[in-house]
Amino acid sequence: MPSIPYEHGLILAAILFVCGLIGVLTRRNIVFVLMSLEIMLNACGLAFVVGSARWGHADGQIMFLMILTLAAAEVAVGLGLIIQMYRRFHTVDISVLSEMKG
Amino acid sequence: MLEWIGLLPAFPLAGFLALVLTRGSLPRRIAGLIGVGSIGLSFLLAALVSIEFLGSGLESHTQLLWTWMSVGTFTPGFSFYLDGLTVVMLLIISGVGFLIHLYSTGFMADDPGFARFFAYMNLFVASMLVLVLADNLVLLYLGWEGVGLCSYLLIGFWYDNPANGYAARKAFVVTRVGDTSMAIGLFLLFQQLGTLNIQEILTLAPQQWSEGQGMAVAAAALLLGGAVGKSAQLPLQTWLPDAMAGPTPISALIHAATMVTAGVYLIARTHILFELAPSVQLLVAFVGLATLLMAGFTALTQRDIKRILAYSTISQIGYMFLALGVGAWSAAIFHLMTHAFFKALLFLAAGTVILSLHHEHDIFRMGDMRRKLPVAFWSFVIGSAALTALPFTSGFYSKDEILLAALAHPQYGMLLWLGGVLGAFMTALYSFRLVFVVFFGRDNHQEHASHDAHHVPGAVHEETGIAMALPLLILGVLSLFGGLIHVPVDAVFAHAEAHEETHPSQLIHTVMILVPIFGVMISYLLYGSRPYEKAGQHLRTQILNSPLGRFLNRFWFSGWGMDALYNFVFVKPFLALAQFNRRDVIDQFYTALAELARISNRALVLTQTGYLRWYAISLVGGLVLVIGIGVWA
């Protein structure tokens, strides 16, 4: 079975990362921003996995496992914050929350 | 008892601290008790110390409390020096001070700043006691400045009125001119003689300097500058008349017991320095003469009862300077003492008049007060008689001594004597003008009072409790018979004072007795006499309406234009300079720094939009930038 060239894997990771980033920058709904962040995290994870396959090292895969746990924790905290935000401000639109304006 | 002299200034100082730290929360009775009691204790101690000291026959007594600072060979201490001169000053300050304090409990009874008033008064007396007790010039300077500070606080006591604040600042700044001169004098003495201990200076100076040597002249002249400022002599006399802004007991304290006598004391204390500089000593005499004449003429034209007394003080201090200038040291101190008695009496009596007439100061709005204010009237008569040096009053003996000493001056004897006698004539004229206008003649107060809505017509009744009447009584007795007291300063000036018995002719004596009487008679003719009232008034208007009379009246009323002159020469240019440099050149640099910070703050605030997106973009932008640099650089 011909292996997929690692460049392809990295390009896919980059595309996913940029998609996620665009989502973070353009979305106004905080839930979507959180989802875009997940995409960015997984893009990183993909890059690690590709790297470990390329050099035959297990470190990258361990790294991916860590990112998974991190993402799970992050989502738990993030969703909790979103619920709080909705309760307090009755909105999930982040552009409304600009109280930190200097 | 002698080792307790450290307590003398400690009592009033403790009183000051107690009154200040309680911030006026004490009941009036207790505040008054502390204020008066502390001075009373001082006086009691001073009396006991004096009795023991004079009885012991010691020439002097030094008491080192502790060393103030020790820098190389320079170790001024809190050490007190007691001799005949100090004893006299101590008794005057604490004794007259005590009577004035006692009087103040009545005078200030209704004032909201009662406790503050006594706090300042106590500090004033404490500073003055330190000044006269100091055995080195540094400690003396401490008392000197303390007195200056207290005069500022007290002149501006009624600070609600900006004019009072201005008068206080004026007194402070003008005396500061003299103080600066004195400070330079101290530096010079230390640099030349290596010590500031007064007794050491007085022994070292004649060894190091010959008579009339430049350094001796400079040192004496600089000290004279300080004395002139504190004692309100020409050319620094302008602060004293304005110092009348304070409550009347303060004027009494400043004029009689403290402050203005400090300059006389300083010169008497350092008299050996002045003997080493005959030219400066002669200058002292002429400063005194010029001041006493100038102030005498000015007093003649004033309308404000307190200003008249203020100018009379300047004039009498002029006599003391005249005495110092001709080397009659003990005569100067003698006059200082009698002056303290009768000037305190006059001021306190004036305070009674002012209080009884609801703070009326203009003597031409008074009149015919002798039956309404009998205590004040008799006090005024006695005080004025002593001030005028009518025979057998205290002022007669002291002024007599001064004038005879002036006559004995080898070069300018006749001139100084004639000036002094003219001054005595003026004194008689203005002091009895005051008496006749205020206590005789027509009652002008009623007429004016009925015009003022807040004055109740006919409400003149003498406000004298026992606290106010008793000091007047004691001071009255002292003014009459104080001339019999012998000031125990012979030992202090023994080596300095040549006691050549001069035998002036009978004519001189007669002139000196008759001139004041003549002055009183002229004054009676112009202001007092019922039968000649028309004639006196006619004469007065004629004098006032002649061109010369009008000019002199205006000129003298303004204090010989000195205020205007200083205003023009010093105050106006200074204000103009301040206006010109309103935006301080050096400040510009710091203002620019502040402005820079403000601008960068405004720029950075723009970046804080509060939008999450914006922060994310900056993060990404920064990341791209850093990676870009890493890849291509």
Closest CA to B349 of B335, B333, B337, B366: B366
The region of weakest confidence among B19-23, B179-183, B484-488 is: B484-488
3-class DSSP state for residue B369?
A: coil
Residues 552-611 of B with CB under 8 A from A: 604-611
- Render pLDDT for B42-56 as a digit per residue (tens, 0 to 9): 899 988 888 888 888
User: For B258-282, what is the mean pLDDT?
Assistant: 86
The region of weakest confidence among B358-367, B392-401, B446-455, B615-624 is: B446-455
**With an 8 Å Cβ cutoff, is A24 touching chain B?**
yes
- Render pLDDT for B576-594 as a digit per residue (tens, 0 to 9): 888 888 777 888 888 899 9
In DSSP notation, B112-178 reads TTHHHHHHHHHHHHHHHHHHHHBSBHHHHHHHHHHHHHHHHHHHTSSTTSHHHHHHHHHHHHHHHHH
- Whether residue B620 and residue A21 make contact (CB cut-off 8 A), yes or no, is yes
Show residues of chain A in contact with B603, CB under 8 Å. none
The listed range with the strongest mean pLDDT (A60-64, B217-221, B228-232, B529-533) is: A60-64
Q: What is the pLDDT of residue B452?
A: 47
Most A CBs within 10 A among B602, B606, B612, B627, hence the mutation to make, goes to: B612
Q: What is the full per-residue pLDDT of chain A (102 aa) written as tens digits?
A: 567 888 899 999 999 999 999 998 888 888 999 999 999 999 999 999 999 988 888 888 999 999 999 999 999 999 999 999 899 888 888 888 777 776
- Bridge partners (DSSP) listed for residue A6: none
**In terms of pLDDT, which residue wins out, B385 or B557?**
B385
Q: Does residue B294 contact residue B332 with C-beta atoms inside 8 Å?
A: no
Q: What is the pLDDT of residue A22?
A: 92
- Whether residue B620 and residue A99 make contact (CB cut-off 8 A), yes or no, is no
Quote the tokens at residue B252.
């009494």
How many Cβ atoms are within 10 Å of B311's Cβ, its own excluded?
26
**In terms of pLDDT, which residue wins out, B101 or B489?**
B101
- Give the integer Cα–Cα distance in Å for B393 and B181: 37
Q: How far does the CA of residue B619 sit from the closest CA of chain A (Å)?
A: 11
**With an 8 Å Cβ cutoff, is A97 touching chain B?**
yes
Q: What is the pLDDT of residue B28?
A: 81
Rg (alpha carbons) of chain B, rounded to whole number: 29
Hey, where are the domains in chain A?
8-91
Angle at which helices B28-56 and B114-133 cross, to 10°: 20
- Render pLDDT for B311-366 as a digit per residue (tens, 0 to 9): 888 888 888 888 888 888 888 888 888 888 888 888 888 888 888 877 777 777 77
Q: How far does the CA of residue A98 sit from the closest CA of chain B (Å)?
A: 4
- Whether residue A25 and residue B604 make contact (CB cut-off 8 A), yes or no, is no
**With an 8 Å Cβ cutoff, is B506 touching chain A?**
no
Q: How far does the CA of residue B16 sit from the closest CA of chain A (Å)?
A: 54
| B175 pLDDT above the threshold of 50 | yes
- Whether residue B613 and residue A25 make contact (CB cut-off 8 A), yes or no, is yes
**In terms of pLDDT, which residue wins out, B546 or B380?**
B380
* Percent of chain B clearing pLDDT 70 (strictly above): 92
- Whether residue B609 and residue A98 make contact (CB cut-off 8 A), yes or no, is yes
Q: What is the pLDDT of residue B457?
A: 44
Mean pLDDT over each residue of chain B, to the nearest integer: 82
Show residues of chain A in contact with B608, CB under 8 Å. 100-102
- Whether residue B608 and residue A101 make contact (CB cut-off 8 A), yes or no, is yes
pTM of the model: 0.76
3-class DSSP state for residue B80?
A: strand
Closest CA to B407 of B425, B420, B389: B420
Domain A8-91 architecture = Orthogonal Bundle (1.10)
List all residues 6 or more positions away from B355 whose beta carbon is below 8 Å from its beta carbon: B107, B248, B463
* Percent of chain B clearing pLDDT 90 (strictly above): 4
| B445 pLDDT above the threshold of 70 | no
Block residue for tokens 């297990």: A58
- Give the integer Cα–Cα distance in Å for B21 and B308: 37
Most A CBs within 10 A among B600, B613, B617, B627, hence the mutation to make, goes to: B613
Dihedral sign of CA atoms B357, B363, B364, B366 in order: positive
**With an 8 Å Cβ cutoff, is A43 touching chain B?**
no
Indicate the pLDDT class of residue B501, thresholds 50, 70 and 90: low
Which of B609, B612, B620 has its CB closest to that of A94?
Answer: B612
**With an 8 Å Cβ cutoff, is A85 touching chain B?**
no
**With an 8 Å Cβ cutoff, is B203 touching chain A?**
no
**With an 8 Å Cβ cutoff, is A88 touching chain B?**
no
Q: What is the pLDDT of residue B363?
A: 75
Burial class (CB in 10 A: 0-12, 13-18, 19+), B598: exposed
Report yes or no for ipTM above 0.90. no
The region of weakest confidence among B146-150, B191-195, B243-247, B463-467 is: B463-467
